[in-house]
Structure 1
Amino acid sequence: FVIMDPTSRWIEHFFVSSATAHVAIEKLEEIFARFGLPRAVTTDGAQCFSGSEFTSFLDSLGIIHLKGPPFHPTSNGQAESAVKIIKRCILKALAERKPSLTSAVNRYLFQYRNTEHEGT
């Protein structure tokens, strides 16, 4: 999973074995515990975000769920940009045969997070 705060452009990532509503909720709980509750969460059309379990979770916290249209990733440009950043990092780590993919992604995100971005 890749999560991005649209204001600060802070990116969080989680390697998961399956993309289910339960896993998505678990990861969001980690983020909310660390950073607090957002007013809204925007998701793509993935199945794990469209079911009643995920929707009920957000409703119970008073969080507005904004849904991008399925198979139309450009509607959520910043999040898709974050996904591209993570994918680029993973491909680079694989090409360089890095022993730990997680460490490689974390190092890349450290650099990204400490780089000034236009609009932040």
Structure 2
Amino acid sequence: MKILARAYCWWNPFDKDIEDLVSNCTTCQSNRPDPTAVPVHCWLLPNKVFERVHADYAGPFMGKYLFVLVDALSKWPEVHIVNNMTAETTVRLCGEIFSRFGLPRVFVSDYGTQFTSREFKQFLKNNGIVHKQGAPYHPATHGQAERFVQTVKNKLKAKGCQQKSLHHILSTILMAYRRAMHPATKESPAMMMFGRQIQSRLDLMLPLTTTENTEYVRTIKSFAVGERVAVRDYLASDKRRFGKVVEPQANCTITWC
């Protein structure tokens, strides 16, 4: 438009007036291409494991939903198969996971109703957890959970998963993922989370390592003649019977009082 106008006339401010004309044209703005995408803001790396977690739901898949929670530092994934994705179910699942790994400092999710509900927000507030949410309509800002959701779904489809074998195949996928080196950390999620590698059937191919056996020293209790003792009598109604040592032998002889 500027080139065409310059062929016939010019005024001051020439460029600004034409740009204002186009920017105020509803038809032009409705049909213009999307602006160039800017780099997505990256989350800062946490200082310790399970300090920040990312959660999301996948499904429906074979009539079920998958609740996915990923630790931002170790990339350790938790996946639970549920019948619905209500706020009540989300609170219950988070409570179970937090009881094993402890409370995170930051919980990241999308704007799903289960995460924005009063019940879930109160759950986070009671546990001192900061709730952060990605930008609406920009799944890339919630990439930790989004990427793993796609990974799980692709693996389940590649396995030809059926509903009756869903739990078994999901466990197999999680086992392989948790012990495999993650490209971002150069360590397996298990090593990052626990400081050790979890064992699988692959470890059966390795030779057994033997450790030096330390001799077990058994302490033998000795009793002096005349010493009072208590004996557990499993046949009598009273649990304990009291007696006095008459003569020490291999099996002490006790006279009952």
Tell me if TM exceeds 0.5. Answer: yes
Gaps of 5+ in 2: 1-66, 186-257
Gaps of 5+ in 1: none
More strand by share: 2
Task: Report how many aligned residue pairs link the two structures.
Answer: 119
Are 2:83 and 1:17 aligned? yes
Alpha-carbon RMSD? 1.5
Asked whether the equivalents of residues 161 and 169 of structure 2 are also in contact (C-alpha less than 8 Å), the reply is no
Where does structure 1 differ by over 2 angstroms across 4 or more consecutive aligned residues?
69-72, 95-99
Distance 1:96 1:24, change over 3 A: closer
Q: Which residue of 1 aligns with 2:105?
A: 39
Query: Once the 2 structures are TM-superposed, how far is the Cα of residue 70 of structure 1 from its aligned partner?
Result: 3.6
More helix by share: 1
* Match among 93, 101, 104 for residue 27 of structure 1: 93
Greater gyration radius: 2
Higher relative contact order (CA 8 A, sep 6+): 1
Asked whether the equivalents of residues 4 and 79 of structure 1 are also in contact (C-alpha less than 8 Å), the reply is yes
Q: Which residue of 1 aligns with 2:184?
A: 119
Are 2:144 and 1:88 aligned? no
Asked whether the equivalents of residues 46 and 70 of structure 1 are also in contact (C-alpha less than 8 Å), the reply is no
Sequence identity, in percent? 37
Residues 58-73 of structure 1: matches in 2 within 5 Å?
58-73=124-139
Q: Which residue of 2 aligns with 1:54?
A: 120
Query: Once the 2 structures are TM-superposed, how far is the Cα of residue 18 of structure 1 from its aligned partner?
Result: 0.7
CA deviation profile, 1:18-50 (whole Å, cap 9, x unmatched)? 110100000000110000000010011111001
Asked whether the equivalents of residues 98 and 104 of structure 1 are also in contact (C-alpha less than 8 Å), the reply is no
- For normalisation by structure 1, the TM-score amounts to 0.91
Are 2:174 and 1:109 aligned? yes
Query: Once the 2 structures are TM-superposed, how far is the Cα of residue 2 of structure 1 from its aligned partner?
Result: 0.5
